Copies of this chain bind each other. A is one copy, B any other.
């Protein structure tokens, strides 16, 4: 079964971006770039919500990525599908549950925590990983949203990157 992974660069107070969606505080390090490059090799599918897509599109990545299918979940957005980017109005958990069973590389949950929350609640996320930055942003777009249940984790890896970043990965314990 394909793994579903969620993660990214976060502030210590768990924001993935400032309120205006900027992320000038993210530190580029050689190690983080290598982790990202290796990670990118393991996936062929990205799932995201409408808000994340709009931020990606505003940043020039609305056309998706070569070799990767991006699925954007929105009940309201009407845009033509392309070879790389497919817009879906169906339930994200139902869709991810189905494609997890198909052949393929792993599946990346990208962006803010709203889509991740619904996938956590449906017990579909297998692994999470964060590059925790040495900053309290004070406010911003949150990584986690309130959930109806506790999710237990197994620490897989923890290491210091340069410039004060901490990289942690966990396996999600399934119910």
* Given A12-B170, A158-B158, A147 contacting B153 (CB threshold 8 A): no
* Given A12-B170, A155-B160, A164-B155, A138 contacting B146 (CB threshold 8 A): yes
Check A120 for interface membership: any CB of B closer than 8 A.
Answer: yes
Identify the closest chain B residue to A151 (Cβ): B136
Check B158–A136 contact: CB distance below 8 A. Answer: no
Oligomer: number of copies? 2
Chosen A-B contacts, 7 in total, with CB atoms closer than 8 Å, are: A12-B170, A13-B144, A14-B14, A134-B170, A138-B146, A155-B164, A155-B166
* New A-B contacts (14) at CB < 8 Å, excluding given A120-B136, A134-B154, A138-B146: A14-B144, A25-B150, A134-B153, A134-B170, A135-B152, A136-B151, A136-B153, A138-B151, A153-B164, A155-B165, A158-B158, A164-B170, A166-B166, A166-B168
Q: 6 shortest A-B CB distances, which residue pairs?
A: A138-B147, A155-B164, A134-B153, A136-B151, A13-B144, A139-B146
